[in-house]
């Protein structure tokens, strides 16, 4: 295998063992929730590079508009939709806007997640009920709401790619109780949904990052909780994968683009990690 004109072979090229045209997503419309920063931003930009028009959503307009500027600089259409994933109706708005303004919703990246902003105990013996339910809604139920809105459009088009963004804690213990429960549930949702929609030409997969350099990871706070410095906390988490490093958000983009492409039609119901070999 030789290198393409742009230099090193991409992850997608290596996985498929042949060249995939970076225009594989020409004419497709993607929705990326939580798309204003971090992993969501990285995936949105990679999908644009592959030819997709991209709708990004979150609660922060300034971040979204910045991503749209980057998408348009690549030469694709971008749209920012301010929406609160914890609100059932608002969580559906990015799909509705994609259909009304770009004509379809072919790809859905359920990326929104993290820790809900409600304050309260997350210790097992004293866990706050509202905090548990809010975290479950943010990391699992919101994916159902947005997906439910997208499915009829994908069915009618005979094409759909749904990618749920999981976590290293989606397959093992160690994270906060509600977050870990929700991410485990996301794998069940992925597999059950893949079973139900396969005949409609829709694939559903779960892409799991490990420790990744995003704004959601506060190394200083993590260090304080463990009685160590931020630098020591970073090194501690980096040491949990085989490559002894914390990944960058951009490393998730190529796999998300591959799973979104027509060439990946045989991949569904799978849990795929891009995590440097986290706790294998």
Residue 169 among the catalytic residues? no
CA distance linking residue 205 with residue 221, whole number of Å:
32
| pTM over the 0.75 mark | yes
Residues ≥6 apart with Cβ < 8 Å to 136: 178, 181, 182, 185
Cβ atoms of 260 and 107 within 8 Å: the answer is yes
Position 11 scores a pLDDT of: 52
Higher local confidence (pLDDT), 174 or 70: 70
Position 37 scores a pLDDT of: 96
Mean pLDDT, residues 274-280 taken together: 92
Catalytic residue (one of 144, 159, 179, 278): 179
Give the pairing type, strands 271-274 and 53-58.
unpaired
Q: How far is CA 65 from CA 28, 32, 79, 92, 179, in A?
A: 20, 13, 8, 19, 28
Position 174 scores a pLDDT of: 82
The average confidence (pLDDT) of the chain is 91
Count of CA atoms in the C-beta half-sphere (13 A) of 203: 20
Position 134 scores a pLDDT of: 92
Left (φ > 0), alpha (ψ -120 to 50) or beta: where does 67 sit? alpha
Position 125 scores a pLDDT of: 87
Mean pLDDT, residues 153-167 taken together: 97
pLDDT digits (tens, 9 = 90+) for 108-149: 999 998 877 667 777 878 888 999 999 999 999 999 999 999
Cβ atoms of 184 and 142 within 8 Å: the answer is no
Position 120 scores a pLDDT of: 74
pLDDT digits (tens, 9 = 90+) for 175-209: 889 999 999 999 999 999 999 999 999 999 999 99
**109, β-bridge pairs:** 32, 163
Q: How far is CA 101 from CA 45, 98, 114, 138, 255, in A?
A: 19, 5, 29, 26, 27
Position 1 scores a pLDDT of: 30
pLDDT digits (tens, 9 = 90+) for 82-104: 999 999 999 999 999 999 999 99
């Amino acid at each position: 295998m030789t290198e393409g004109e742009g230099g090193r072979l991409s992850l997608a090229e290596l996985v498929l063992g042949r060249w995939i045209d970076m225009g594989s997503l020409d004419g497709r419309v993607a929705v990326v929730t939580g798309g204003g920063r971090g992993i969501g931003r990285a995936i949105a930009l990679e999908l644009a590079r592959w030819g997709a028009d991209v709708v990004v959503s979150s609660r922060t307009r300034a971040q979204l508009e910045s991503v749209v500027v980057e998408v348009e600089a690549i030469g694709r259409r971008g749209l920012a939709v301010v929406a609160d994933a914890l609100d059932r109706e608002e969580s559906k708005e990015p799909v509705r806007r994609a259909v009304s303004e770009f004509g379809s919703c072919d790809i859905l990246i359920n990326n929104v997640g993290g820790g809900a902003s409600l304050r309260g105990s997350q210790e097992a013996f004293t866990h706050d009920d509202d905090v548990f339910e809010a975290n479950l809604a943010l990391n699992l139920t919101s994916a159902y709401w947005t997906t439910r809105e997208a499915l009829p459009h994908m069915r009618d088009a005979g094409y759909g790619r749904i990618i749920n963004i999981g976590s290293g804690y989606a397959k093992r213990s160690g994270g906060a109780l509600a977050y870990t429960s929700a991410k485990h549930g996301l794998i069940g949702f992925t597999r059950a949904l893949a079973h139900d929609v396969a005949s409609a030409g829709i694939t559903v997969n779960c892409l799991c990052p490990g420790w990744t350099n995003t704004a959601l990871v506060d190394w200083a706070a993590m260090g304080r909780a463990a009685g160590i410095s931020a630098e020591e906390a970073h090194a501690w988490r980096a040491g949990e994968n085989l490559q002894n490093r914390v990944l960058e958000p951009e490393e998730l983009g190529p796999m998300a683009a591959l799973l979104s492409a027509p060439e990946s039609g045989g991949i569904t119901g799978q849990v795929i990690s891009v995590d440097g070999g986290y706790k294998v």
